[in-house]
Amino acid sequence: MPTVFILNGPNLNLLGVREPATYGYDTLADVEQRCLVRAQALDLAIDFRQTNHEGQMVDWIQEARESADGIVLNAGALTHTSVAVHDALKAADLPVIEVHLSNIFRRESFRHLSYVSLAADGGIFGLGPQGYELALEAMAALIEAAAGEGPR
């Protein structure tokens, strides 16, 4: 069964209490539960994690290179600041789907730049927690396509 790392960046541990008008009332545990249900239906295993630390995120992306078949990433604010996360994603050589609960392109201009997008196969923005489920569907298709084509 293919494994997908679902990695979450800074402040996502505060979902449900931080700016609910922007991010909604679901907690990160709620999002994880939705992902578990969707992954099971797609015959995927998931490893769901959250960190507030850039170096930890880079370590997890590097770990995914050896332990996962794809990465779903909501890097939070690291999206807009971290060349290190970008470089780790490029080095991982795995399918990557970027997810954001809000539409980063309808927010402050500093959020419009995504270093993650430069390394991702696709992105889902502004659909709230459902975006994670859609990302898993897209990831399942990418993994299936890669299995038929050989290495990326």
How far apart are the C-alpha atoms of 144 and 94, rounded to whole Å?
A: 13
Of 53, 80, 86, 100, which one is the catalytic site residue?
100
Tokens 């700016």 correspond to: 19
Q: Pick from 125, 121, 87: which is nearest to 106 by CA?
A: 125
Of 23, 86, 115, 132, which one is the catalytic site residue?
23
Name the token pair of 137.
């569907």
**Is 80 designated active site?**
no
- Number of Cβ within a 10 Å radius of residue 76: 21
How far apart are the C-alpha atoms of 68 and 53, rounded to whole Å?
A: 21
**Is 23 designated active site?**
yes
Q: Beta strand 45-50 with 122-125: parallel, antiparallel or unpaired?
A: unpaired
Report the catalytic residues.
23, 100
